[in-house]
Chain A
Amino acid sequence: MNGRALRIGIKRGWAEHMQLLRNRRELTTTLVGTAGIFALLLLWIGDEQVKGTDVSSGMFMTSGFLAFTVFSNALMTLPMALAADREEGTLLRLRTVPGGISAYLVGRAVTLLCQIAVQSALILATGVVVGGAPLPHDWPTLLWVLLLGTVAVVPLGAAIGCLLPGPKAAGAVLGLPMMGLMVTSGVMLPVTYMPEAVQWIAQAFPLYWQGLGLRAAFLPDAMLAAEIGGSWRLPYVAAVLAAWAVAGMLLAPVLVRRVTRRESGSRLAERQLAAQSS
């Protein structure tokens, strides 16, 4: 990667971010899809308390939605964007340009981070304003968990995007597992509500750990009554998220290189034909 590709990539990422902000439909989906649904949930059950604690559901859900935003942007939005760029030929276009693929990947990462930042801010604001959640008491923990959590899932999302045949398949393949993880990973409901077997499965995935780390930053220790082992387990949060990050970083470059090398005009035409006839 040279300096020029990095610089163009950052500009590119910013340009695509602004395109999303300017696109009215995209903007409505984001606003209604994240903040709107979240606000409704807060109004509905935000005043209840998490069983066995005196923590309000509003506070609990604010940290949970934050974790889920990072997770779904990296593992759903990113793979779909990659698959769409492949299908439309955007990836191929950048292959025709010197340094284009590096700039493309930088650009995708920048767009993703911008989107995560905007949505996180939106959720935090909604949580505070509508749900009456306090601001996090531990900002350093909030920041490192958000960053490490992002690094843990972005390479993974890129790898998934390379394996998917197309953007439509992406939605179909990823939708159910994402919902499943959302329900079981303790970000919407305390994980200790789940049967023990489910708790074990949830702990294998990064979403649980990111949620836990964010709760540590947001919630009072009274919440620990509803956490596994009665502890925030922050060293584990760091270790598991780091392990996922390393795994993703080993896997993603191999797959990305394979996919971008194979890209060519006739392959593109083949796929577009197949997409039209299906």
Chain B
Amino acid sequence: MSAAVSVRGLRMKYGAAEVLRGVDLEIRRGEIFTLLGPNGAGKTTTIEILEGFRNRSAGEVSVLGTDPERGGDAWRAKLGIVLQNWRDHNKWGVREIIAHLSEFYDDPHDPDGLLAAVGLTGQAGQQVGRLSGGQRRRLDVALGIVGRPELLFLDEPTTGFDPEARQEFHLLLEKLAADDGMTVLLTTHDLVEAEKLAHRTAILTGGRITACGTPAELARAVQAQSRVRWLEDGRERTLTTDDPSRAAWELHERFGGPVPGLEIRRPSLEESYLELIGRAA
């Protein structure tokens, strides 16, 4: 089967500012894929182009085999969309809006089952506008998946979630991906979340994908250089290297024994990510 999402040489300009400068992406069917990047990197822009809400400046894009700029209702019925900020349908009831939107699809989830799955059974009769931030976000997720989409887009879905809700949300997504074979593309700022949830992650910085792969591959790819410090002739010396173990061995040889004040610091994945973002910016 073809890839769920395939993007080649995607470019996007807002006026003179080029936000995307040749993005390449390939998301497989059934995969949970995260797009990671700092504020303003172009995550929302990318995802909106894939959703067919924004026209690109250049490049080839195929989402479930269709160019989003030409996607009709049949194509749209296969997508689920959770945007970064929803405030809509405030006067509707929680269950009422889920039931209403489910009617647009051929084989929707049962509204009550869905309420239970996102933990909103107690709020079924409540007005949408009175939900707390995290509850509202859960409703958004429910509305995103009500039509049993083949492909679900989530733009920063877990902002405003407490740790427990976040955990439940991760489990829900994993279940949906495993049971229904749903493909998920989500954006986040949170490296830890990406590492935990995603089969694969791409990092978007400076308008390009600067790293992409499984958590382990990513860790290797972004691993920043380690810093080796020691004392020599009463002064502190430092050295940055990809291979700190080798550097330490060479130092021991040179000193013919223990190296005074030897210190090796291997940066964490998070520090490495921050450095990668810094390098690209």
Contacts and interface: CB of A to CB of B under 8 A. Distances in A.
A92 interface: yes
B7 interface: no
Contacts of B54: 264, 266
Interface in B31-75: 44-45, 48, 51, 53-54, 73-74
A269 B85 CA distance: 7
Given A264-B48, A264-B53, A93 B100 contact: no
5 contacts: A92-B88, A97-B101, A265-B53, A266-B45, A269-B84
Interface stretch (A11-19, A59-67, A112-120): A11-19
A98 B77 CA distance: 5
Contact of B104 (A98, A268, A269): A98
B104 A263 contact: no
Interface in A7-55: 8, 11-12, 15-16, 19, 23
A22 to B, nearest CB: 9
A8 B103 CA distance: 7
Interface stretch (B90-98, B206-214, B239-247, B262-270): B90-98
B79 A15 contact: no
A92 B83 contact: yes
Contacts of A258: none
A99 B73 contact: yes
Secondary structure class of chain B's binding surface, majority of residues: loop
B204 interface: no
B150 interface: no
A90 B48 contact: no
A90 B88 contact: yes
B196 interface: no
B105 interface: yes
Given A96-B81, A98-B73, A265-B83, A89 B88 contact: yes
A275 to B, nearest CB: 11
B88 A19 contact: no
A5 B173 CA distance: 30
B104 A100 contact: yes
Contacts of B96: 15
Interface of A: 4-5, 8, 11-12, 15-16, 19, 23, 85, 88-90, 92-93, 95-100, 103, 263-266, 268-269, 272
A5 B105 CA distance: 11
- Identify the interface centre among B45, B90, B103, B155: most chain A CB within 10 Å of its CB: B103
A103 B143 CA distance: 17
A8 B100 contact: yes
Contacts of A89: 83, 85-88
A93 B146 CA distance: 13
Secondary structure class of chain A's binding surface, majority of residues: helix
A265 B85 contact: yes
Given A12-B100, A98-B104, A266 B48 contact: yes
B74 A263 contact: no
B89 interface: yes
B191 to A, nearest CB: 23
Contact of A8 (B76, B79, B104, B147): B104
Given A89-B88, A96-B81, A98-B77, A265 B48 contact: yes
Given A93-B143, A265-B83, 6 more contacts: A16-B91, A88-B88, A89-B86, A96-B76, A99-B104, A268-B85
Interface in B169-218: none
Contact of A103 (B91, B92, B104, B147): B104
Nearest to A266: B44
A231 to B, nearest CB: 46
Nearest to B72: A98
Contacts of B89: 88, 90, 93
A8 B48 CA distance: 26
A88 B54 CA distance: 19
Nearest to B76: A98
Nearest to B44: A266
Nearest to A100: B104
- Identify the interface centre among B44, B48, B87: most chain A CB within 10 Å of its CB: B87
Given A19-B92, A98-B74, A265 B84 contact: yes
